[in-house]
Amino acid sequence: MSYIGESFLRLLGKEPARPTKEDIRPEAQEIHFYKKANKVITREHILKLHEVPQKKTWRNRRWLTLLAINLLFVVSYHLDIQLLEGALTASRFMGFHMADLNSSLQVMLAFKEVLINLVIGTSTVLVMWLLLGGRTFCSWVCPYHLLAEWAEKLHLKLVEKKIIKGRTFHRGTRTVLYVVFALLAFVTGYTVFETISPTGILSRALIYGPGVALVWVGLLLLFEIFVSRRAWCRYVCPIGITYGIVGLVSPLRVEYNVVNCAHEGDCRKACLVPHVLDMTIKGRARDVNVPVGADCTRCGICVDLCPTDSLKFVYKWPGK
């Protein structure tokens, strides 16, 4: 199956499958075989790799960007400098229209009329995220993502101490909800998803002041701490699918190189969407270099984590 097709199906919820021998390119087969035959990867080897202190380069860059963008909205309004007006759902950057793709979609489906301003705003944002990776929005801009990352840390600690047992859901749930919310917008004529979107709620709370809506965001975080790791982003949020589709053909991706990988799997354990990193499992890489799929939020946690630099950001158009 083509890279884009497979990437799309996994975005919708398909579980990665073990590749058959015919699927794997001879160069990659050679590497798999070499690693197996020579027992290159030993416990000592892995321990030695992990002696170096953990990098936080991309995490720091990302948190800084996320905070800067969200604070720019706040500062722009409160100091009246008109640099970035509006909220994450729709805004003007130095007077130029920007509109969140998912919010626009909800409005278009509910309202059934499209104004030129919205077309401009949506196209601008579409092109921007097409160049920058699609779900990059999630980890580099969405304020809920940052709170969820902190909730995730708590959740993992509780699981580690065996105080709670983490629950998983089927990833296809998000796809079903995507269709349901699109239909609800069209049929009811209300932007139903916007009502419970923590992205919109948090963005507005930051800019225009807090309200009762934050209780809902609090409940979501509690659910993620005590019941299911990163549940909103993994199993619910349609914004992720919308930007995921943009990311299908985006040149900004993480790419995997199998040569030096020790296959210890730390990247998959840290990843929000570990199904995109399935090629890091021993013997699964279909090629020497494998691009990571569209569901990847380009957060760079795996890039920071990888002691062999087997995961890296690249900028190349799919198929090139």
Partner 1 sequence: MTSESEKGGKRRLTPREQKQRREFLRSVVLAGGVVATSLLGFVPVVSSKQLRLRPPGALAEREFLAACIKCGQCEQVCPVEAIHLADLTDGFGVGVPFIDARAQACDFSCDGLQCVLACPTGALSHELDYPHQTRMGFARLARPKACLAVQGKGFKGLARGASFDGKLRYDEIDRWNPLYVRDHPYDLEICDLCVRQCPIQIRIGQCEAGTPPSGDENQCPPRPAIHLEAIEDGSGTVRMKPVVLDGCVGCGVCEMICPAEDGPAIVVDARKTAEEATA
Q: Which of 11, 24, 31, 192 binds partner 1 (CB under 8 A)?
A: 192
Q: Which of 303, 287, 298 is nearest to 3 (CA)?
A: 287
- Binding segment toward partner 1, per CB under 8 A, in 62-70, 139-147, 173-181, 247-255: 173-181
Of 81, 92, 83, the residue nearest 118 (C-alpha): 92
CA atoms within 13 A on the CB side of 193: 27
Q: How far is the CB of 109 from partner 1 (least distance, A)?
A: 9
* Selected binder of partner 1 within 38, 212, 319, 320 (CB under 8 A): 212
Which one, 5 or 211, has the nearer CB to partner 1?
A: 211
Q: What is the dihedral of CA 215, 200, 144, 179, to 10 degrees?
A: 100
Is 263 in contact with 41 (CB distance < 8 Å)?
A: yes
Stretch that binds partner 1, among 86-94, 146-154, 265-273, 275-283 (CB under 8 A): 86-94
Single-letter residue type at 269: K
Nearest approach, Cβ of residue 144 and partner 1 (Å)? 15
* Alpha-carbon span 190 to 175, nearest angstrom: 20
Instruction: List Cβ neighbours of 9 (8 Å cut-off, separation of 6 or more).
Output: 1
Nearer to partner 1, 239 or 267 (CB): 239
Closest separation between CB of residue 318 and partner 1, Å? 30
Binding to partner 1 by residue 172, rule CB under 8 A? yes
Residue 170 binds to partner 1 (criterion: CB under 8 A): yes
- H helices present in the chain, as ranges: 3-12, 26-38, 43-49, 57-78, 101-111, 116-132, 136-140, 143-160, 172-188, 192-196, 198-208, 213-226, 231, 238-247, 266-270, 301-305
Residue 235 is a binding residue for partner 1 (CB under 8 A) = yes
Residues in contact with partner 1, counted by CB under 8 A, come to a total of 55
Which residues contribute to the site for partner 1 (CB under 8 A)? 77, 85-87, 89-92, 97, 99-100, 103-104, 107, 110-113, 115, 117-118, 121, 167-170, 172-173, 176-177, 180-181, 184, 188-196, 200-201, 204, 207-208, 211-213, 215-216, 231, 235-236
